[in-house]
Structure 1
Amino acid sequence: MLVGRQPSSSRIWPSGGAHVWPPGGTSSVQSHQRGHLVYAARGVLSVHTEGGTSIVPANRVAWTPAGFTHQHRAHGHTDMRIVFLPASLARLVPERPAVFLASGLAREVLLALTGPRRRDRAASARLRRVLVDELREADEQPLQLPEPRDDRLQAIARILYERPADNTPLAELGRTIGASARTLSRLFHDELGMTFHEWRTQLRIYHALVLLADGHTTTHVANACGWANPSSFIAAFSALIGTTPGRYRTG
């Protein structure tokens, strides 16, 4: 995958770092010897692994274990914070990539660990333990777009990535690629673990987060992402994100 725009500023140290990304900024494909947490203090991040794309808005924190190949992408002007965990703490969180709902305390600890003020090792270690304790109590809140492997699902994914507002029924999409709605429904269930409607809703929320990060209004985002009216969009967005689009945009 090609590397996009680079960070406009960076601060890196052994236990973490901070990158300010322009819209569309993309890291290299990489892996680390230690697992790490990423948090978007501003903007929206997506974390790409072989398992799919996880969306990380400002009320989520993403965990990538050691050794997992990954890539980050910024949507809107994004302030990305990174915290590496020692093995003693990493063993307390999942052995797979995960996205957690970030409590107010977890967000403050992440900002403290990655802010300009330098703390001694003991103080930083205490904060990391608090952070991991918060994550262990938090619900996993995945906003993930699984990557289809089947050629037929990949063809549908390409259509809807390019046109998220497309309301074409699955049967009609199937006719354009030479597959029945029944076959495609089975593939969505067996390969991605969700229905076509659920997958398309996740895709649309992903695009909605990007547009909101760029400052667009709720009405514009609803129309651009295929909802018939703003009320339907607000309901779907709130169910997945846990807050309304208006509060998310201003928060």
Structure 2
Amino acid sequence: MVSQSGQLTGSPDGGILVGSFRYDAGRTTPPHVHVDHQLVWASSGVLHVTTDGAGWVLPPTRAVWVPAGVAHVTGASTPATMHSLYLPQDCPVRFSETEPTAIAVDDLLAALIVHLARTDLTDAARARAEAVVYDLITPARAGVVHVPMPRDPRALRLAEALAADPADDRDLAAWGRHVGASARTLARVFVAETGMSFARWRTHVRLRAALVHLADGVAVTAVARRVGYRTPSAFVAVFRRTLGVTPRYYLSR
């Protein structure tokens, strides 16, 4: 089956469907839900998936499992090719029914997703590949960049400004004067509404921006400067402390 924005392949009798779509930089979908579970993966470029108040950045080494019925928006920070698996609700994979889960994509899972996107597979060949895919869909061991957004309008103004310019290094007192709230109030709101301190939240925003640049081939030195770190070593140290691995390892398989 071919849609306006891409191609769907697979068997219609309860197996895995694979959607293949090209995304231009800046393209986003409207909020939507699926009746099946979805695994969103970029074979090239960087995708981002957002739900109500949360977001995930997906270079080719990461995917995100979106449970059936969960509203989300998919977009691309750079030109990207998305392969989206649609898996029946009774499939053997079991994660949260209400929250997306970050998935590590190694070489084998990546190859199998591309394999399942073919249109010339026999039913038997497709069934064998699907069985292995189910075994390989496991949560990412390394940390993931997760950026929940606050709901308080003052904190949200701050969050949106930092998302647009993660290198802005104003402290909470300065931001408070800008949005009309005390530093103490903003600190309390970030913990209550994002589950993170403001400092940790800003780190995730910077790393989200960094991943887009890194996946686009920008050197670590330039990336560090663009997202607000004075030295590459400081950036790499924060990256490792937050995500458990170096930038090079995170983007490799």
TM-score, with structure 2 as normaliser? 0.85
Work out the CA distance in 2 between the residues paired with 1:55 and 1:136. Answer: 17
**Structure 1 stretches of 5 or more lacking a match?**
1-6
Deviations 1:94-150 (A, max 9, x none): 212111222333223223222x35323343233233222222465484421102111
Aligned partner (choices 99, 102, 117) of residue 99 of structure 1: 102
Work out the CA distance in 2 between the residues paired with 1:243 and 1:80. Answer: 25
Work out the CA distance in 1 between the residues paired with 2:206 and 2:42. Answer: 20
Is this contact kept in 2: 1:8–1:19, CA < 8 A? no
Give the drift of 1:250. Answer: 8.0
Work out the CA distance in 2 between the residues paired with 1:112 and 1:242. Answer: 31
Aligned partner (choices 115, 119, 136) of residue 112 of structure 1: 115
Work out the CA distance in 2 between the residues paired with 1:50 and 1:137. Answer: 21
Partner of 1:4: none
Deviations 1:52-77 (A, max 9, x none): 11111221111111111211111222
SS at match of 2:43: strand
Partner of 1:188: 190
Aligned partner (choices 9, 12, 37) of residue 13 of structure 1: 9
Work out the CA distance in 1 between the residues paired with 2:60 and 2:149. Answer: 23
Is this contact kept in 2: 1:75–1:213, CA < 8 A? no
Q: Answer yes or no: is 1:147 the counterpart of 2:149.
A: yes
Partner of 2:81: 79
Q: Answer yes or no: is 1:211 the counterpart of 2:221.
A: no
**Structure 2 stretches of 5 or more lacking a match?**
11-16
Letter in 2 for 1:158: E
Change (3 A) 1:111 1:236: farther
Is this contact kept in 2: 1:34–1:65, CA < 8 A? yes
Give the drift of 1:243. Answer: 4.9
Work out the CA distance in 1 between the residues paired with 2:195 and 2:184. Answer: 15
Aligned partner (choices 41, 44, 64) of residue 43 of structure 2: 41
Identity, in percent, stands at: 36
Partner of 1:3: none
Is this contact kept in 2: 1:208–1:225, CA < 8 A? yes
Change (3 A) 1:163 1:191: same
**Structure with bigger RCO (C-alpha 8 Å, 6+ apart):** 2
Task: Give the RMSD, CA atoms, in angstroms.
Answer: 2.6
Letter in 1 for 2:7: R
More helix by share: 1
Is this contact kept in 2: 1:65–1:90, CA < 8 A? no
SS at match of 2:78: strand
Aligned residues: 244
